[in-house]
Each structure stands twice: as C-alpha cells, then as structure tokens.
C-alpha cells in the first residue's frame, strides 16, 4: 500500500539572532555562560527569566537544551550579541 499523502518533514521551531537580541543583555550573557559551561540547571533558571520577556523564545531555547544543541545555541547567542 502506498501513501497518497506522504508526510512532510516538519521543521522544528527556531529563533533568530534578532529575536535573542531583544532580550536584556544580562539575561543573554548569563544564558551564554550557562551554555558554555553545559550547565543545564543554570540555563533553566535563565529560561525562567526569559519567559517574562518572550514565551516563544523561552520554549524554543528549552527545546534546544533538551536536544543538547549547545553549539547551535552558542552560535545563535554569539550572532545576537555582535
């Protein structure tokens, strides 16, 4: 049996450096440090702060951490702060 409607690959939600740049610098810097250190607990505390500013961004960052996308997140933060 062939599927007449093949499943499309759904792209995971993402954030842009511009969206991250909207966050307060101290919050972004703290998140960056937590990501560099691989400190998920500290990163989760920062995500709680990000929720106050942008719930969508906080959810995407949380998902990235759960998937261990530390390098990708680090690059996004670096691009947001340049």
Confidence of residue 27 (pLDDT cuts 50, 70, 90): very high
Task: For 46-73, write each residue's pLDDT tens digit.
Answer: 999 999 999 999 999 999 999 999 999 9
Average pLDDT along the chain: 88
pLDDT for the residue 4: 62
- Rounded (10°) angle between helices 40-51 and 55-66: 160
């Amino acid at each position: 049996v062939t599927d007449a409607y093949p499943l499309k690959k759904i792209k995971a939600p993402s954030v842009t450096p511009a969206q991250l740049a909207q966050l307060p610098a101290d919050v972004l810097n703290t998140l960056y440090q937590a990501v560099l250190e691989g400190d998920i607990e500290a990163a989760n505390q920062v995500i709680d702060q990000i929720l106050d500013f942008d719930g969508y961004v906080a959810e995407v960052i949380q998902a990235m951490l759960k998937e261990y996308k530390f390098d990708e997140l680090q690059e996004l933060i670096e691009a947001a702060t340049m």
